[in-house]
């Protein structure tokens, strides 16, 4: 006797169930209004974030330059305050335990922010930031990633695509190394060409946009963002083609920032 429940129908119901789960998991990026997929509960995301941040601190050499450390913390305090005010204005509730460190590594031109407000700068980026305003460009951009929950979105995509749709708890249990690597990639400690690439460029552009508003609200001139990226574009070395890069091409980024400046300047009050 042939079953009435054919394979095509079975697949259809699975697809409908999957679509329903995705619908329930949708969130909205503040300011841009873009819909995003966030499958991981914030509590789990924060727990993993704090654990990984502690591990990074243990394995890294923290800068002993008190002047630079103080600058990172000062700018961080201003940007984080602006971020919380920004979220209150949008009626969004998020948990933060802000912390800002400067890692001694002159070869690493990088900075990142994990969920919950755990921020790290590397000394290698300071020659390009030049001053407090330059640091605010990078700080605003990285904090914007946390506000927009880009890390959760990247991890959610990775769990679906790379780890077969496992939940975070199951992934940590069954594939801890792969899950940890996925987490670090989600926050800019790695890049790949493939399914996730276009979303990463979109995240960078969103973070540029939100970051401009945050630095303006914190009292830093958002015009400095253009100057910072012009310095980065002149830093030497051949940049990869844009379709192979997780970041927008420098020219694209600078042009987009210039278009956003009039809006950001409305939030700027010189302190």
Domain-located, residue 133: yes
Residues 124 and 110: beta-carbon distance below 8 Å: yes
Instruction: Match 């995003």 to its residue by tokens.
Output: 36
Known catalytic residues?
A: 142
Q: Tell which wins on pLDDT, 195 or 49.
A: 49
pTM for this structure? 0.75
Percent of the chain whose predicted confidence (pLDDT) is above 90: 44
Domain-located, residue 18: no
Q: Tell which wins on pLDDT, 103 or 232.
A: 103
Domain-located, residue 49: yes
Q: From start to end of the chain, where are the E strands? A: 26-28, 35-37, 99-103, 111-114, 118-122
Q: Terminus-to-terminus CA distance in the chain, angstroms?
A: 80
And the tokens for 58? 């243990």
Domain-located, residue 19: no
- 100: which strand partners? 119
pLDDT at 121 over 80: yes
- How many domains is the chain partitioned into structurally? 1
* pLDDT band of 117, cuts 50, 70, 90: very high
Q: Tell which wins on pLDDT, 39 or 125.
A: 125
Domain-located, residue 211: yes
Q: Identify the pLDDT of residue 72.
A: 98
Average pLDDT, the chain: 78
Distances (CA, A) of 241 to 44, 177, 245, 252: 36, 30, 6, 12
pLDDT tens-digit readout, 162-214? 544 444 455 545 555 665 565 555 555 443 433 334 447 788 889 999 999 99
Q: Identify the pLDDT of residue 200.
A: 72
Domain-located, residue 11: no
Domain-located, residue 152: yes
Domain span including residue 199: 38-265
């Amino acid at each position: 006797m042939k079953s009435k429940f054919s394979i095509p129908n079975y697949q259809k119901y699975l697809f409908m169930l999957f679509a329903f789960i995705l619908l329930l998991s949708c969130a909205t990026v503040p300011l841009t209004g873009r819909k995003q997929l966030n499958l991981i509960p914030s509590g789990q995301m924060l727990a993993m974030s704090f654990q990984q941040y502690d591990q990074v601190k243990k394995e890294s050499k923290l800068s002993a330059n008190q002047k630079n450390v103080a600058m990172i913390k000062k700018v961080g305090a201003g940007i984080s305050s602006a971020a919380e005010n920004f979220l209150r204005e949008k009626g969004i509730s998020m948990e933060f335990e802000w912390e800002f460190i400067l890692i001694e590594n002159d070869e690493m031109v990088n900075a990142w922010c994990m969920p919950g407000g755990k921020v790290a700068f590397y000394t290698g980026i300071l020659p390009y930031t030049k001053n407090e305003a330059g640091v605010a460009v990078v700080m605003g951009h990285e904090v914007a990633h946390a506000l927009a929950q880009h890390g959760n979105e990247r991890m959610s995509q990775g769990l679906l695509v790379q780890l077969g749709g496992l939940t975070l708890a199951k992934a940590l249990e069954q594939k801890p190394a792969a899950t940890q690597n996925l987490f670090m990639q989600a926050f800019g400690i790695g890049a790949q060409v493939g399914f996730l690439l276009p979303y990463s460029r979109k995240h960078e552009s969103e973070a540029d946009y939100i970051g401009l508003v945050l630095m303006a609200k914190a009292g830093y001139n958002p015009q400095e963002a253009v100057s910072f990226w012009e310095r980065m574009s002149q830093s030497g070395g051949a940049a990869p083609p844009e379709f192979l890069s997780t970041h927008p091409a420098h020219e694209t980024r600078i042009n987009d920032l210039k278009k956003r400046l009039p809006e950001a300047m409305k939030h700027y009050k010189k302190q």
